[in-house]
Structure 1
């Protein structure tokens, strides 16, 4: 899941300083789960903007915001509002915000900060799980990601700086490679650590990335 958190309201007002009329979009998936872009949050934002002198012409919870063709279709219900509005405030992740921006000819401002791909431990508590590196290593590390969990992204064991099982970069985090070792020991797969791994190939994760399944 893409984890996002709200931007400070003052920052939004600054973006919308020259916009008197606003349309708000949310997202039915990740942003809704993170409590930053569902209908409840959109309605609260609507009320808050109106309290600060903005006229909210309409809103739409996109399903989901990052689906280009679906969003294009969903925005048709706001056709008249989008012709009249000065700006769109997008309460989704950065991907959803960019999708909306491609489909309208007015400014689109992000209402959230996109933080990471992560796990929902419980509502309101999230932890980073994946950096979308383009070459998943989980098959030999016991399902623990060394790219994400290790602050240095090391692929051939720990750096040697861990103390009491904690990372030297951030002592609040467990050392990823100690976690990996213990997990592989539980699985009877410690021999996975005997193979020397190639350095990370950053070419497989060049930006912006594109995948076209029609060509495969």
Structure 2
């Protein structure tokens, strides 16, 4: 799941300054699950913008809309008949959403209403943790199902750095050392000797470091 955080209201107000008619655009995808960009959050943000603009003596015209997904052109197309009516669109989808909307509707300024932070999962209600950096070459099966790339502060592939204390990371003491967890997990499975393998330097070309990535499924293309 893509996890994000709402931008401060003041920042959004500054982005749409001088724009009379504004659309707050939500997404029913990941940002709904993490409670920053779904239909409920669209209503909250739109109301807050109206109140703030009215207090400032500005036109409070802020409308609301939520798409099934903003990362899919099929759903973005639902804006085709209304996009040109607005002086600005505030997208509270992940970082892909405002880009897709801006690419489709060239004349309307599109502003991001959230900050996309990481790919993770829920530890408990209201708590999410990073679990993946989308490196393009998943190797978690070699480490007891735990990812040293995303969960080690140094992204070490070959054992702990030696600086952890009491099972916690030396860089972020409040974060458990994933290598401590990996050793315990592999030991419990009777696979500890597998960690003696020395892994070569990671090929980051499959990750973002190789430039923007594209996935083509010929069997799905029409």
Q: TM-score range by the shorter chain?
A: over 0.9
**Deviation per CA, 1:30-76, whole angstroms, max 9, x where unpaired?**
111111111111111111121113312x322111111123322x223
- Alignment of 1:68 with 2:73, yes or no, is yes
SS at match of 2:116: strand
CA distance in 2, matches of 1:137, 1:120: 22
Q: Secondary structure at the match of 2:140?
A: coil
Equivalent residue in structure 1 for 2:213, among 204, 209, 214:
209
Match of 2:49 in 1: 49
Query: How many Å separate the matches in 1 of 2:179 and 2:124?
Result: 25
Distance 2:167 2:47 in 1: 48
Determine the C-alpha separation between the residues in 2 that align with 1:122 and 1:75: 35
- Secondary structure of the residue aligned to 2:167 is coil
Which residue pairs with 1:20 in the alignment? 20
Unmatched tracts of structure 2, length 5 or more: none
Q: What's the counterpart of residue 199 of structure 1?
A: 201
CA deviation after TM superposition for structure 1 residue 103, in Å = 1.3
> CA–CA distance in 2 between the matches of 1:153 and 1:215?
35
Q: Which runs of 4+ in 1 moved over 6 A?
A: none
Using the TM superposition, give the Cα deviation of residue 215 of structure 1 relative to its aligned residue in structure 2, in angstroms: 8.7
1:91-102, aligned counterparts within 5 Å? 91-102=92-103
1:1-216 equivalences under 5 Å are 1-51=1-51, 52=53, 53=58, 54-56=60-62, 58-72=63-77, 74-76=78-80, 79-80=81-82, 82-105=83-106, 106-205=108-207, 206-214=210-218
Distance in 2 between residues matched to 1:86 and 1:207, nearest whole Å: 33
Flag structure 1 segments of 5+ consecutive residues without an equivalent: none
Q: Give yes or no for contact 1:137–1:146 (8 Å, CA) kept in 2.
A: no
TM-score (norm 2): 0.90
Provide the rounded CA distance (Å) in 2 between the counterparts of 1:68 and 1:214: 18
Instruction: Compute the displacement of 1:112 (Å).
Output: 0.3
Aligned length: 211
8 Å contact from structure 1 (residues 36, 91) kept in 2: yes
